[in-house]
Amino acid sequence: MSLVEELERLEELRRAGTLNDDEFQAAKSKLIDGESSPGGLAGALDNLSSDTNQWAMMIHLSQLTGFVLPVAGWVVPIILWQLKKDMSETVDRHGRVVTNWIITEFILGICCFSLAGFLIGIPLFFGLLAVGVVFPVIGGIKANNGELWPYPMTIKFLAEREKRTGHYGADPGDAIATGEAGAPDDQQAG
């Protein structure tokens, strides 16, 4: 692949929302300066995405610190997310998934505790404990592979954040195609 083709492919990835502006500029400068690995664009993107994927994986797996230090499993992932959410949209998405799960898990824990008097809460609590281990491990593995895995049964308290050109992954032309741009239909000039 020539340098021009690689730069065009990089631009396509940026337009598709796969790369944010900072990631695009970093990969572009690596390609132009010749600092990329022998794989050209693939090598530049692998180097860039592996760091992002590792941070996303750490956000998921840091929930397990709660088994060593109580409450750390809730605090550490949120701190990691807050520190790195502006670095990458991917890290921000994973942080939101994990934060939604932490809040959901807390609410479900309160429900299990309330039902413990009726004895049904005890097995439910152990089930919650099991998914509290399994979900972060699956999420961490998927994050390391570059995939976003929304945890099942999670209540969405935090929706995806809007970016300057629209929603994550949205094409700027989508606003025009869906009629979101301009005045609402009821305010048309007559």
User: Is residue 117 situated within a structural domain?
Assistant: yes
User: Is residue 165 situated within a structural domain?
Assistant: no
User: Is residue 189 situated within a structural domain?
Assistant: no
User: Is residue 113 situated within a structural domain?
Assistant: yes
What is the model's pLDDT at position 46? 53
What is the model's pLDDT at position 93? 95
* Mean pLDDT rounded to a whole number for the chain: 80
Residue 66, token pair as written in the block? 């709660």
pLDDT digits 0-9 by tens, 153-175: 999 999 877 654 444 444 444 44
Does the pTM surpass 0.75? The reply is no
pLDDT digits 0-9 by tens, 102-156: 999 999 999 999 999 899 999 999 999 999 999 999 999 999 998 999 999 999 9
Domain count across the chain? 1
- Domain range for 75 is 3-160
User: Is residue 172 situated within a structural domain?
Assistant: no
What is the model's pLDDT at position 28? 82
Phi, psi of 142 (to 5 degrees): -65, -40
What is the model's pLDDT at position 105? 96
Is the separation of the CB atoms in 58 and 19 below 8 Å? no
Rounded Cα distance between 134 and 130, Å, is: 6
User: Is residue 180 situated within a structural domain?
Assistant: no
- Our measurement of the distance from residue 95's CA atom to the centroid of its chain's CA atoms, rounded to an integer in Å, reads 6
**CA neighbor of 88 nearest in space, from 59, 56, 61:** 56
What is the model's pLDDT at position 42? 53
Residue 73, token pair as written in the block? 């499993």
- Our measurement of the distance from residue 109's CA atom to the centroid of its chain's CA atoms, rounded to an integer in Å, reads 24
What is the model's pLDDT at position 58? 95
Average pLDDT estimate for 53-81: 94
What is the model's pLDDT at position 164? 43
User: Is residue 130 situated within a structural domain?
Assistant: yes
Q: Which residue has the tokens 């399994």?
A: 134
User: Is residue 28 situated within a structural domain?
Assistant: yes
